[in-house]
Structure 1
């Protein structure tokens, strides 16, 4: 099992504010089940030319020297089904990190957007049917993204430049760019101290 974020406290689902309200939510035994709208996504310009700003992200403040993490299950089956952790400054500066179903397989990745989006992916087919943890630590001039499947240690996904004076919020997100009916169960949302070390 992955180590929880240091000095962690649970964030109540009611503390967050949606960037775009999902089709439906349901609290059940401490979990939050989020059903996405068909066509929901987050992307800016690069390669595709379009701007999508309709992700379902439930956000609460992420100050410097803090970390936030979410746990969720992955019932993905359609192109670009995705869920994970979203960090937002404004509509042109944001990060999404987590699991995405692309070209027939599960991938661990991140999109970093500063005016325009980029995209990085690594296949994780053995993560299917397992609980996923995604953690982002904010410290100094960086966001550090880590992730794991249940029973494995967290792995480093990405280190992202991020100015210390930015006012940012973060929390769980879901997108379903290509279909209706995607419901993702989030089992935990935690905030705590930033990770002490990069490695």
Structure 2
């Protein structure tokens, strides 16, 4: 990607990995998750879910995807953020998830089986949250912030340089109907140049 100026990605540029229950465009993109939607493979729980709703467009080495959103976080495992997907067994979801009455910031990295890292960000519950995923030749770098706050490093995960990947906004509602996430921005920009 040339330059470092963020470029808006039009909502129509993406394709859904799984159709949401409802989509409405009114300045922002309002998306309602299907009840029971999720993304996970095997580890600890023993199940496979591959029906989280990702609106994905190509993500090349040297690029970053940045997504901003807000939602009424109140359902167990409500989640939203950025999905980076190669195929059903190789993907990363990064963002926030509401679990056990806490809002958590983290990532699930999947290479045939999933892992999960998370830390509480309860003070973000009413904020507009932005997640940025940068693609380096051998890694994905995940950062996030609330409103106009400082960026936090969330995760550094290995990622194959040769993989053909796509990325964009995602949401899922494993335990309930009616989760509607307002996605306010979707940007493509140059990947972060450093970790520090």
TM, length-normalised to structure 2: 0.97
The separation in 1 between residues aligned to 2:125 and 2:38, in whole angstroms, is 22
Equivalent residue for 2:4? 6
List alignment gaps of at least 5 residues for structure 2: none
Equivalent residue for 1:21? 19
Question: What is the root-mean-square deviation of aligned Cα atoms in Å?
Answer: 1.0
The separation in 2 between residues aligned to 1:121 and 1:128, in whole angstroms, is 15
TM, length-normalised to structure 1: 0.96
Equivalent residue for 1:143? 140
Q: SS in structure 1 opposite 2:163?
A: coil
Q: CA deviation at 1:196?
A: 1.2
- 8 Å CA contact 1:6, 1:195 repeated in 2: no
List alignment gaps of at least 5 residues for structure 1: none
How many residue pairs were aligned?
194
Q: CA deviation at 1:6?
A: 3.3
Q: SS in structure 1 opposite 2:106?
A: strand
Q: SS in structure 1 opposite 2:12?
A: helix
Equivalent residue for 1:39? 36
1:1-199 equivalent positions in 2, closer than 5 A: 6-29=4-27, 31-199=28-196
Q: SS in structure 2 opposite 1:21?
A: coil
